[in-house]
Chains A and B, each alone.
Chain A
Amino acid sequence: MTISNHASVPETIALPPKEFSRTLYAYVVWGGLALALLWSWAPAEMDRVTYLFSDSGNMVEYASGFLTPNFHDWDYYVQEMILTVQIALWGTVLSIFFGIPFAILSSSNVAPIWIVQPVRRLMDACRAINELVFAVLFVVAVGLGPFAGVMALFVHNLGIIAKLFSEAVEAIDPYPVEGIRATGASKLQEIIYGIIPQVAPLWISFSLYRFETNVRSATVLGVVGAGGIGQILFESIRGFYYGETAAILIIVVITVTVVDLLSQQLRKLAI
C-alpha cells in the first residue's frame, strides 16, 4: 500500500507561506548594504579607480622595478625578520598568559554579571584600538625599539584572546563541571578540572592562529619605530629602492607562509 492510495492525503500539499518578518528582514539587510556602499562612494574617492588603468604606463614601470630583487643585504633582512617573529612570539605568549584570567572573568557561565560586564568592556577597549596605535603610544612610553612592539601586540591581543577564549568557555558542556562540583571541589578546581580540559583544544588552536596573525602585524610595527622588519621596508619604499623592497617583501612572504603552514599543522594536532 502506498501513501497516495490514502484517501485522506491531498494531491498537492501547499508549502507554508514565507514568514513576512523574514522577507522584510532580507530587504532591510540588502537594501541597507546597497545604501551604505552608495553613501561611501564619494568619500572613499572610488571614482579614482580609472587611474589604475589610465596611468598604466607608470604602473608597468613601477612593477618592473620589483622584478629584479636585490638580495645584497639578505642577511640583514633575515636578521630583522627573525626579530619580527621574536616580537610576535613574546606579544602572543604574554597576551595568552594574561588573557586566560580575563577570559574566565568575562564568561557569563563562570563569573557573576557585575564582573563580566566591566571586564568585557575593558577587553573591548583593548581590541578596539589598533596595534599600530598602541605601538605609537608605547614608543612614547618606553622608547623606540622592539619592546614597544611587544607591548603593543600584547595589549591589543589581550582583548582578542579574552574574547575568543571566553566564547569557548561559554560553549562548554556544563554537566561535567557539575560532576566536579558535586565532589565538593572549589570554584577554581571546577575551572581547572571541568572547564580547561574541555576548552584546551580550541584555546590552542586560537593561540596558534593569533601567532600567525601577529607575525603579519609585526611586519608593520617598524613603520612607527617599534622594531622589526617594517622599519627597513618602509625606508626602502620611501627611498624608491625597488630591488631592496622586493627582496624584503619576498622574505616577509616566505616567512609568513612558513609560519602559517607550521601553525596549521600544529593546530591539526591540537584538535
Chain B
Amino acid sequence: MVAVSIDGLTKTFGRKRALNGVSLEIPAGEMVALIGASGSGKSTLIRHIAGLERGDAGCIAIHGREIQSAGRLSGEARDMRRSIGVIFQQFNLVDRLPVITNVLVGFLGQINRLRGTLGFFSRNEKHIAMRALHRVGICEQARQRASTLSGGQQQRAAIARALVQGARLMLADEPIASLDPASARRVMEILAGINKEDGMTVVVSLHQVEYARRYCPRTIAMKDGAVVYDGPSVALDTAFLKELYGEASDELILPDAPVSDQPRERPVVAIGSGAPALATA
C-alpha cells in the first residue's frame, strides 16, 4: 500500500516558486527523512500533504485517496485529515488548554460532531488519551496547561494527540528543531517506536542530518522546491550535503556517514541523471 503519492506538485507564493514539480511515493510503514536548507520547501511540502495548503498543479493521494488535485482540495479532505497526524515545529498546541484536552482534540474527527463540539468525552476516550500520554512519558502533566510544559514535553503532547487521532501517517515538520539534544533524541525515539511498533508511516523533516542517518532508512533531499535526492540515508556524503546546504553546511554536517564495513553506496534514486550530484547544480 502506498501511504503518500505525489505527482507533479507545484506551488508558487507570489513570484516565489516554493514547490517545483515534486513527485514522490512513500510506501506504508516507511520512516522517511526530509532534508534541505532553510527555504527549500520542506514545510510547504508537508502542509500540502496534510491538505492544509493547496498546490497550483499536481496531485497528492494519501492511502490511495486523492486529497488534492490541480489546486482543488478534495471534498473529503476534512475527513482524510483524521488519518494524517501532523506535528509542527511550534507544537501548535492550544496554550491555555490543559494537556489532556489538547490530546482529546485528537478524537474530534472520530466522534459524534455535537458531542465533540460540546466537549463531552467518554471515560474510555479519556483513558485512551492517558495511555497515549503515558506512552510519550508525560502523564503526570496531564492537567497542566500546555503553556507550562517544556518544549520537548509540548512536542510529545503533540505526538500523543496524533496517536489518539488514530493516524496512519505521521507528518512531522522539524519536530526537534527547537529542542535540546536529549529531548530531541527522546522525540525521535518515540517517532521511531511508533513507526516500528504500530507500523505507522512517518515523514519527518530535519535539519540535523545525523538524526536522519540514525533514525530514517530513507532520505528525501530538497533544494529550491525540487527533490534533488531520494534514496538511502547512509549514502548521503559530505560532498553532497555541502552542495545541498551551501554556506550553512558547516553547522549542519557532523561526522561523515558510517564508512566502516561496506563500501559507501552511492545514491540509488537520484533525480535527473541518476548521478549523485545535485540535479539542479
Contact = CB atoms under 8 A, between A and B. Distances in A.
Interface of A: 175-176, 178-186, 188-189, 192-194, 197-198, 200-201
B109 A179 contact: no
Contacts of B96: 197-198, 200-201
Contact of B92 (A178, A186, A198): A178
Interface residues on B, range: 20 to 34
A193 B82 contact: no
Contacts of B90: 175
Contacts of B84: 182
Interface in B33-72: 50, 52
Nearest to B171: A182
A176 B92 contact: yes
9 contacts: A181-B81, A183-B109, A185-B109, A186-B108, A189-B108, A189-B116, A193-B94, A194-B94, A198-B94
- Give the dominant DSSP class at A's interface: helix
Contacts of B92: 175-176, 178-179, 182
A186 B50 CA distance: 15
Given A189-B117, A197-B97, 18 more contacts: A175-B92, A176-B92, A176-B94, A176-B95, A179-B91, A179-B94, A182-B85, A184-B78, A184-B79, A186-B78, A186-B117, A189-B116, A192-B119, A193-B94, A193-B105, A197-B96, A198-B94, A198-B95
Interface string B76-110: 00111110111010111111110001000110111
Nearest to A180: B105
Nearest to B94: A176
B78 A179 contact: no
Contacts of B162: 183
B81 A184 contact: yes
B95 A183 contact: no
Interface string B104-132: 01101110010011010000000000000
B168 interface: no
Contacts of A192: 117, 119
B222 interface: no
A189 B52 CA distance: 16
Nearest to A174: B92
Nearest to A193: B105
A178 B52 contact: yes
B195 interface: no
B18 interface: no
B71 to A, nearest CB: 18
B117 A183 contact: no
A172 B165 CA distance: 25
B158 interface: yes
Interface string B152-195: 00000010011001000000000000000000000000000000
A184 B108 contact: yes
A69 B80 CA distance: 73
Contacts of A188: 117
Contacts of B93: 176, 179
A189 B92 CA distance: 15
Contacts of A200: 96
A186 B113 contact: yes
A203 to B, nearest CB: 12
B82 A179 contact: no
A24 to B, nearest CB: 31
A179 B96 CA distance: 14
Contacts of A179: 86, 88, 91-94, 105, 158, 161
A192 B118 CA distance: 9
Contacts of B106: 183
Given A193-B94, A197-B94, A197-B96, A183 B88 contact: no
